[in-house]
Structure 1
Amino acid sequence: MTKDLFNLFMAVLYIVLIAGAGIFLSWMTIQKRKNKERMRANVVKKLTANVTLSAKDIIHIGRGYELSPQSSRDVVFKLHADIDDPAAFSTLKALVAEIEKEEPFDELPDEVKPSLSRLSKLIEQSNDNADKHILLPVTTTLTKYVELKAEQEKAKKQTNRAYVITIISFVVGAISFYFTLKSPSETDIKKAMEQVLSEQVARTTTPNDG
């Protein structure tokens, strides 16, 4: 493989990778939209069958369609805005109210959500105004813990990506260095040109037989 052919190969590979990434992102967007439509149809079917749904059910249904909790809630919010049936609208209204109560705890660990939701309901029934903010330091501390854990996972992923990129860069650099060593130097090119010119002059000055 010559140096020019290698450069062409790397350019084509770069274009293919960029195009592949674009196609993958487009496919993910389309797939997410389809999953939202499937979940919407599923929720409507359950409402029509008078199935009682909770905020946790919505999260679990969305997980079955590979949707995040936020995307699952968005499906319910959109359906609540679009639906015209009075009974279904009333059911969705209660469901949306329940979702809004649990939404502040969405980023917290699953094992503490039921306890926090229960405490939130008890605080609402309390007549002591001081109890209204009793959950704030707890949720703030837990949220910071979740954020630190997420940052740790993100840093780990970035380290793994950097490791892979380093290996790829080393391989590409080694190949490029190899072709650089194999390519002719300026002196070699000059000698080759002088040899070609000498042969051309020799052919020109040699008298023809006959």
Structure 2
Amino acid sequence: MTLRAAPVSYAYPVWFVQGGGVSGLTVGYAPAYTTKAAAESVAVIDAHARARLTSRMRLVVEKGFEAVAGETLESQGEDSQETPLADSFPVFVKGSVTVGGMHVVAVTPDSTGPGLPSGLVTLGSEPPGWIQVPPAADGDWWYAVGVSTAYFREYYGWDEAERHGRQTLALNAGARMRSLMEQTEEEQRAVLQVSTAVELGSVSVVSRWRDANNCYVLVRGRVLAVRTR
């Protein structure tokens, strides 16, 4: 008899999975420390900094790729810089929970709105369609998908997936490409550099999904300016 491992289920607050349903919502992360108070404090500080960044930011991205003899381009590294452009503003905790070895909080700039429910929802076992085909631009809103390895410390994976989503959003808005072909007696080498410098506003996570290997986020934001470099 062949034994099969049961599929892993992942459960999170609904505001974490589909934060796009709440205006101005930002999620902050922290490790699940011994005391909830310590984790809450770190997560709120993270959420405050993240809210200021995603409210309005300048994002500069450079990525390099290389291929030998017509093979698929392989990443040779990246460099990105995110600079907040908005003034600091207060945020208010609307939801808080410890799950998956991490503590997460939901904050908004609204001091009077109701709190968010803390009940957990289980992610579906099948990946959502937006992972393969993100929504098309809708008016001022642009969409992009970010992916990261699902690290042992789970908040690293979600944080990195969000960052990659913002990078993709910026590259979709406007990218410069420079290529170089190099021929030697042994091989032909192609090098491609992709770069962009964009101002984004109102960036948020619309939806999340994960499996045993990766964390995925669907992000949206407004493209405020595309700058040549």
- TM-score w.r.t. length of structure 1: 0.19
Higher strand share: 2
> Which of 1 and 2 has higher RCO (CA within 8 Å, sep 6+)?
2
Higher helix share: 1
Q: Please say which structure displays the higher CA radius of gyration.
A: 1
